[in-house]
Amino acid sequence: MLRSRLVDRILDDSYSVETRRHVLPLTTARLAANACFRFAPPFLASISDDFGVSLSRLGLALMITELVMGASPLLGSVVDRLHRRTAMAGGLMGVSGAAVLAAASPNIWVFIVGILMISVSKFFFDIGLSSWVNDHVDYERRGRVIGITETSWALGLLVGVTIMGLVASQTSWRWGYAVGALAVGLMGIVTASRLDPHDVAGSVRTRDVIRARMPRAGYLVFGAMFFLMAASQTMFVTFGSWLEDEFGFTEAGISAVAFGLGAFELLASVTSARRTDVWGKERSAIAGALLIVPSGLLLAALHTQQTPSLVLLGLFLLGFEFAIVSLLPLAANLIPEAPGRGLGIVLAGGMLGRASMSLVATAAYDEFGFQIPAIIGASMALCMILCLMSFSRGNRS
């Protein structure tokens, strides 16, 4: 009854019964998957100490996993051929198994394989979910539903990573992954049992549709995603080490900061769900990036002052979250006949952006401190704005 009332408040009767019935369970499932995906960056210092490697070397290993995910357009085409339930439930079970592998890893290379498999499996789930939304919601109203499901990104940090981090503070980061694996596995079972097994499947589509090409202007969105994800990665892979080195934070303290950052991101997701369809996808994404630029520059200047810098870090990630939630429905509609392929191509740009910053930001932090990654992040956000302005100008033409 409570769940029904909550759905009624966020989605009215104009949305399909299928959408209203499943959007909250699928958002919860994505929350658990995102928690496993987002757990490593804040605790890179602990993980690198456990394996006896430097932060920059671990950053190099993370870069390798992101580069492999550059194959996401191919994975998107595979998802387009699958039933939505198969893609989502299979992706969740894959994340669960990969988290177990990361938790039990005897060395850094097995750990990296686990992280890579978390990324691949979560990609299957995410693309399946986005395609499912495309199947059931018109583009003009899709921003609200995407905004609801994207609250799972913030809640993955606010709730998921916080819980996993508190477990890690009492045991080790390995048990944090174990808790995440259990949660994702349970949601995989829920997803497999609830969704219609005969939901829309790409296998019934023609080859011509599956091979539909990305429009040339779509690669500006690819570039925008590259720069936006690069900007976010400058913070995600360094802020935990910065808090530990600059202010002496423990794992419990970093978990508390993650909780606060998740609250900022949740605010951005909820706001985007309400406003993106009204303001327009491109304009909303640009607005989010415009918040990143001054936040990054001020963070570089004030990084030795704890309270102002934490607020600025929150604003930086709030801008990122608002931008990414607004950009995703645009990306998923670039190739309407094959949403998985279109979104996969754009997300490949994001993976490459994260890959570059996994190496650059960690090396810059080791060499110069936190201020340089913050400046790089602001610069990347500015480049993202230029890409989207060019895309929007081309659409008007």
d(CA 120, CA 153): 17
Residue (of 218, 202, 225) closest to 70 by Cα position: 225
User: Looking at the DSSP assignment, which residues form a beta bridge with residue 40?
Assistant: none
- Contact residues for 386 (Cβ-Cβ < 8 A; gap 6+): none
Residue (of 39, 309, 74) closest to 159 by Cα position: 39
Residue 108 · residue 223 · CB < 8 Å = no
pTM, whole model, 2 decimals? Answer: 0.71
What domains lie within the chain, and their CATH numbers? 18-197+205-396 (1.20.1250.20)
Kindly give the confidence (pLDDT) of every residue in the chain, 397 residues in length, as a single tens digit, with 9 standing for 90 and above.
444 455 555 666 677 777 778 888 899 999 999 999 888 877 877 888 888 887 777 777 777 776 766 666 666 667 777 778 888 999 999 999 999 999 999 988 899 899 889 988 988 898 888 878 877 777 667 767 877 887 887 788 788 888 998 898 888 899 999 999 999 999 999 988 887 665 555 444 444 445 567 778 788 899 999 999 999 999 988 888 898 888 888 877 887 887 788 787 777 777 766 666 667 778 888 988 999 999 999 999 999 999 999 999 989 988 998 888 888 878 877 776 666 677 778 888 888 888 888 888 988 998 898 999 999 999 999 999 999 998 877 665 5
- Residue owning tokens 């990305």: 214
